[in-house]
Amino acid sequence: MNNYEKEKILNIINSIKQRRQVFRATPCLQTEEEFIVLAYLISKCNHLDGNFAEIGAYEGFTSEFIKYFIEKEKILYLCDTFEGLADVSEKDTNINIPNGSFNVDIEKFKIINSFYNDSFVSIVPGYFPQSATNEMNNSKYAFVHIDTDTYLSTLSSLEYFYPLMVSDGIIVVHDFRNNKQCYGVNNAVNEFIKDKNVLLSTFGNTTQAIITKI
């Protein structure tokens, strides 16, 4: 990725930040390096015959970012409870995020973000994967971003999406490493891949796990 492309990414991040400041939304929870990784991986997946999804949209900063880079003929599914995190389990070791954290009223979510009326964006409220629509169930996926912080939500999202990924499709899991609050995410990823022939990689100092469908 050249300097021009990186500058474009940083300009998009700043544009999203400025819009969100008007609505007093939560500050960005991803690093610039993580956004650069997302943009690069999305560009690799755009040619694949599959849709896009984010699980754990929260207030939508990353969702808004992803929207800028995907081809418009694809559908972008945005899933979240909009009621906060589900109960943690014993595999969420050392987590100090209270149950119900990261809740946002869905109407506020729509107001904060500029994409709520875009025809290619589908907002799916509720606990995932129970909330998945028939349209989602019958779809194939090229790129999925999972940012759910806890063991069970991460594992169930991986179990749902991986069989629906096209070959060379990519799942990015946030908080896989370098985050002492979210060991449950690491546990979920390692448990999921232990008996599967998958390609798992990481990049730089990011928290992301990059899982490529073989």
Range 3-212 classified under CATH 3.40.50.150: yes
Which helix (H) or strand (E) element contains residue 122? strand 121-125
Domain residue spans of the chain: 3-212
Confidence of residue 124 (pLDDT cuts 50, 70, 90): very high
Name the burial class of residue 173, with classes exposed (0-12), middle (13-18) and buried (19+) by CB atoms within 10 angstroms of its CB.
buried
Instruction: For residues 114-121, give the mean pLDDT.
Output: 71
Q: In this structure, what DSSP letter does residue 12 have?
A: H
Q: State the CB neighbour count (10 A cutoff) for residue 163.
A: 9
For the stretch 135-149, pLDDT in tens is 999 999 999 999 998
Note the pLDDT of residue 194: 93
User: What's this model's pTM, rounded to 2 decimal places?
Assistant: 0.90
- For residue 67, report the phi and psi dihedrals to the nearest 5 degrees: -55, -35
Q: Which residues pair with 76 in a beta bridge?
A: 52, 121
Match 């896009």 to its residue by tokens. 52
